């Protein structure tokens, strides 16, 4: 039998907010989950504690602190990020024997005190949706991406270079692709047969921490 698909813990916590984690990554092992968390949910290595501006090198941060101190205004992170202390805990080898228990060890590190979901897995119907979505993206993905890139003005390389710097073009292109992927997923969910939407209408398990909104997704806590 096929191995079950592990969910991103952040998606389990707040499915609507972190739905991007569900789209194109398929985790069969806890190590893959950890890699995803490091890439997508960890604090930047070098950043200003006040304004949260990130830097590639420490000297750039020092220059910022010296030159922009008067105008540097405190800003909180706009989303929950894994702290360096938590990253250190995640890098330690788990003593658990199963992927399920290893995943729950990760949950306890990231969200101490938060109730555990009933399962670390994406349920069977959602795993099936993964397969269908990949097939759908294979059929429609290229066309939709091209349409979104055209809409964003990235059909003529010469025009891009003339108007914007290479870094700006690349950043904007990636943003356009990100929006296109959102469009592909939304289009897929709208157009899939209703019989495939077997999980629709179920209530959320309520994984919210005290003082936080309860997640509204009907999928997050429906693992096997």
| Residue extents of the structural domains in the chain | 1-43+81-122+201-224, 49-74, 124-196
Q: In terms of Cα–Cα distance, which of 222, 139, 223, 216 is closest to 184?
A: 139
| Reported pTM | 0.56
Contact 215, 204 (CB under 8 A): yes
In sequence order, what are the residues at sequence separation of 6 or more whose Cβ sits closer than 8 angstroms to the Cβ of residue 79? 17
Q: What is the pLDDT of residues 138-173, one digit of tens each?
A: 677 777 777 777 777 765 554 444 555 666 766 777
- Write down the pLDDT at residue 131: 62
Q: Judge whether residue 135 has pLDDT over 60.
A: yes
Q: Judge whether residue 107 has pLDDT over 90.
A: yes
Q: Judge whether residue 84 has pLDDT over 70.
A: yes
């Amino acid at each position: 039998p096929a191995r079950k698909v592990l969910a991103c813990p952040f998606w389990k916590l707040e499915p609507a907010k972190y739905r991007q984690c569900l789209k194109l990554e398929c985790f069969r092992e806890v190590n893959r989950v950890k890699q995803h968390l490091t890439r997508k949910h960890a604090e930047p290595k070098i950043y200003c504690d006040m304004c949260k501006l990130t830097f590639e090198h420490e000297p750039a941060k020092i220059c910022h602190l010296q030159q922009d101190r008067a105008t540097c205004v405190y800003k909180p992170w706009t989303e929950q990020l894994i702290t360096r202390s938590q990253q250190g805990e995640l890098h330690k080898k788990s003593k658990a024997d199963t992927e399920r228990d290893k995943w729950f060890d990760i949950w306890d590190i990231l969200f101490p005190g938060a109730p555990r979901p009933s399962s670390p897995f994406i349920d069977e119907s959602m795993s099936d949706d993964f397969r269908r979505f990949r097939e759908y993206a294979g059929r429609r993905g290229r066309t939709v991406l091209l349409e979104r890139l055209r809409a964003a003005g990235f059909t003529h390389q010469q025009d891009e270079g003339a108007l914007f710097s290479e870094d700006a073009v690349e950043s904007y292109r990636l943003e356009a692709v990100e929006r296109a992927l959102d469009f592909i997923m939304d289009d897929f969910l709208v157009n899939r047969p209703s019989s495939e939407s077997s999980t629709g209408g179920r209530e959320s398990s309520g994984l919210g921490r005290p003082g936080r909104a309860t997640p509204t997704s009907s999928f997050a806590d429906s693992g096997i």
